[in-house]
């Protein structure tokens, strides 16, 4: 499995979330399979987006696209940090 971990601050969570939701079809068409959203327990504008992708190449192409740069600007995203990950193990305790 391939994943992307994004940690970013946003100007206002409600604005960001509305734009994030409106981009669902774009993300799906780009290869995002599923996602989780988390936020810092003390700062509601510090968001973690963890998602599974069809391939890391698709994820990179999407996250580095000019279209997404514009979407991030509209959403008020500040300096996102992207980590591209390949699963090596999974377990339950």
Residue 93 lies in a domain: no
Residue 58 lies in a domain: yes
Residue 24 lies in a domain: yes
1, 71 contact by CB (below 8 A)? no
**Count of structural domains within the chain:** 1
Give the domain range for residue 58: 2-86
State pTM to two decimals. 0.91
Residue 79 lies in a domain: yes
Q: Tell me, what's the pLDDT at 40?
A: 96
Tokens describing residue 20? 């994030």
CATH of the domain at 56: 3.30.70.100
Residue 74 lies in a domain: yes
Residues of the chain with pLDDT under 70: none
Residue 26 lies in a domain: yes
Q: How many CB atoms lie within 10 A of CB 4?
A: 20
Q: Tell me, what's the pLDDT at 79?
A: 86
């Amino acid at each position: 499995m391939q994943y992307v971990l994004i940690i970013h601050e946003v100007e206002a969570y409600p604005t960001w979330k509305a734009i994030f939701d409106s981009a669902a079809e774009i993300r799906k068409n780009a290869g995002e399979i599923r996602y989780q959203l988390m936020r810092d327990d003390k700062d509601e504008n510090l968001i973690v987006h963890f998602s599974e992708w069809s391939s890391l190449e698709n994820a990179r192409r999407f996250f580095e696209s000019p279209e997404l740069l514009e979407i991030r600007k509209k959403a008020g995203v500040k300096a996102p940090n992207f980590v591209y990950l390949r699963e090596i193990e999974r377990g339950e305790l």
